[in-house]
Amino acid sequence: MVVYIIGWFINIMEVDAAQYAAITLEMLKNGEYLTFTDHGEDYLDKPPLIFWISGISMSIFGANNFAYRIPAFLATILALYATYRYAKIYYSNETALVSALILATLQATFMINHDVRTDTNLMAFYIFSLWQLAAFLEGKKWKNFILGFVGIGFAMLAKGPIGLIAPALGIFGHLILKKKWSDLFSAKWILGLIIVAIVLTPMSYGLYTQFDLHPEKLVNGKIGTSGIRFFYWTQSFGRITGESKWENNMSPFFLSHSTLWAFAPWSLFLVLGLADRLKNLFLYFNSKSQSKEFITLFGLILPFAALSASRYQLPHYAFVVYPLGAIITADYMLRTFYQAKSRWTNGLYIFQITLLYVTLALFFWLVWFPFPYENKYAVAFFILVVAALSWVVFRAKTSHKLILSCAVFIIGINLILNSYFYPNILEYQAGSELGLSAKNAGVQEGKFYSYQAGEPHSLNFYSAVFVEETGDFDGLISQKNCFVFTDSELLDEFKAARPDLKVIDNSGDYSVTRLKGKFLNPSTREGTLRKRILIKL
């Protein structure tokens, strides 16, 4: 909890998170909650849930780091609780608790609580809908059915049709293997789709009025764009069929190897747990094994396979199925290490603990080397983490040493990341640094320009005013009391035209989500930076 809270106050990173924060602020300023714009241009990419809930938070707490991240934290709490309740339907209370602990301590979960995107909400409502629908299948209570499809509706509001497809694959796969034909072919699923349609009505109406009623609009380089078709087909299925313009040619195994770090420190046990589940599935087909449920397995591997088939992939796309991965991991670890110990499991325990120590040493070097002098508490935090991990490994009397060791390790790593590493690298995100400087200097709406320096979303968000990109030098220098965000190398040109200008602030600029060795190396960092400057005319 403390590590999450520290992450609330880190500046928001470019590109996606800063863009969503800026769009939310633009929505609040415009007072338009069903149509969305980005830098004044019609926006058609992500569904509106992240803007709505961030907007509510900003309306209460103001437009700041804390307000933007609070909804993601609440979504994480929902995901943890739903994971626990879902696991408890089919497994022991101990397995359910460990599942929630694993989900809470994934590297992915820490990440999406400070670099907030749409995936936090998708993950939360996906596992929530599975919990409710599994409870309905077991108990036949209609409140669970209704809540399950409301959850699917919100999952779609978070990130599109995957919010419906993923739970359908898990639930229907389970019903087919269990041969529950009456449930599989029940007309009640039509009622469920009606509930989903009702939840989606505000968004669908907004898409229709903003885009379908205005085919003359130029959207994403095209005219005649249908917002309804884009959301329900092109944005998701179009990445498989090739209709979508988004394509980064990732390997079908990209999400698989991304999961190895995103699911850390539990990755090894996820792989072993999945292998064990697939073996039991094979035995089940041959009538040699029994299984309580298949929702967890199919709800993970089938959506994961579908996402891996997309022509455009990013690591966080797989995060939606991680609650189910946490359950598979918890079930495997408890059965393997605490119920059926063997010489093999003792060796695996030693291997994992050794891996944790080696990784911790390499990690500390990685984060200390780029910024060796900036934070005197970093060494103290590292010593604290090593001491806590060592106490669990060598002194703790609990039988669950492996589980606690993994949790202590990843909590410690993210304590250092959130309190030391991320704040240091974000000093090189000029949009947020100079945006705050402009706000503190009293910039006013309509008086902030970006000249030959792009349109960083963080510049809009942190200045809290609309930043207009312009290439009109003569028009700029003729203005009074306006602020300009530009390259430092252009300062002399501005000074020659306006000797009375005032330099407010300057900052080195680097794409901090794409770290490379030359930036991390203090001796070569300067050469990787674009020098930005904020001036007042």
Q: What share of the chain is helix, strand, coil (3-state, %, to 5)?
A: 65, 5, 30
- The whole-angstrom distance between residue 339's C-alpha and the CA centroid of its chain comes to 35
pLDDT on residue 249: 67
Angstrom distance (rounded) from CA 337 to CA 208: 55
Round to whole Å and give the CA distance between 46 and 242.
18
138, 178 contact by CB (below 8 A): no
Burial of 140 (0-12, 13-18, 19+ CB in 10 A): exposed
Distance, in Å, from the CA atom of 405 to the CA atom of 333, rounded to the nearest integer, reads: 13
Q: Using CA atoms, how far apart are residues 357 and 448, in angstroms rounded to an integer?
A: 50
Q: Give the pLDDT score at 350.
A: 87
Tell whether the torsion through CA atoms of 220, 224, 228 and 229 is positive or negative. Answer: negative
In CATH, which of 3.40.190, 1.10.3470, 3.40.50, 2.40.360 is domain 429-536? Answer: 3.40.190
Query: In the prediction, which pLDDT does 83 show?
Result: 97
Rounded to the nearest angstrom, the gap between the alpha carbon of residue 174 and the centroid of all alpha carbons in its chain is 28
Tell me what pLDDT residue 341 has: 66
pTM of the complete model: 0.92
3-state secondary structure 9-34: CCCCCCCHHHHHHHHHHHHHHHCCCC
Residue 398 dihedral angles phi and psi, to the nearest 5° = -65, 150
Do strands 218-219 and 41-42 pair parallel, antiparallel, or not at all (unpaired)? unpaired
- DSSP of 41-80: EE--SS-SHHHHHHHHHHHHH-SSHHHHHHHHHHHHHHHH
What's CA 325's distance to the chain center, in Å? 16
One digit per residue, the tens of pLDDT, for the chain of length 537 reads: 788 888 888 899 988 899 999 999 999 998 889 988 888 888 888 899 999 999 999 999 988 998 999 999 999 999 999 999 999 999 999 999 999 999 999 999 999 998 898 999 999 999 999 999 999 999 989 999 999 999 999 999 999 899 999 999 999 999 999 889 988 899 999 999 999 999 999 999 988 888 888 887 777 777 878 878 888 887 766 555 555 566 666 677 888 889 999 999 999 999 999 999 999 888 888 776 677 889 999 999 999 888 888 777 777 788 999 999 999 999 999 998 887 766 678 888 888 888 988 988 888 888 888 887 666 677 777 888 888 888 888 888 888 888 988 988 898 889 888 888 888 888 999 889 999 999 988 888 888 999 888 888 898 999 888 888 888 888 888 888 889 999 988 888 888 888 888 888 998 898 888 888 898 888 898 889 999 999 888
Encode 475-500: b = buried (16+ Cβ within 10 Å), e = exposed: ebbeeeebbbbbebebbeebeeebee
Max distance between CA atoms of the chain, in angstroms, equals 86
| Predicted local confidence at residue 165, as pLDDT | 92
Q: Which residue has the tokens 């005032």?
A: 502
Residue type, 492: D
Tell which residue, 239, 44, 17, 241, has the closest CA to residue 119: 17
Outline where DSSP puts E strands in 113-230.
Answer: 218-219, 222-223
Q: What DSSP element (H or E) covers 468?
A: strand 468-470
What residues contact 197, with CB distance under 8 A and at least 6 apart?
Answer: none
Stretch (H or E) spanning 131: helix 119-139
Please give the structure tokens belonging to residue 179.
Answer: 């041969």
pLDDT of residue 253: 82
Indicate the domain borders of the chain. 2-239+254-334, 341-408, 429-536
Output the CA–CA distances (angstroms, integers) from residue 493 to 72, 462, 497, 499, in the order listed.
Answer: 44, 27, 7, 10
Q: Is the dihedral of CA 227, 229, 234, 235 positive or negative?
A: positive
Q: Do you know the residue count of the chain? A: 537
According to DSSP, the residues that pair with 219 across neighbouring strands are 222
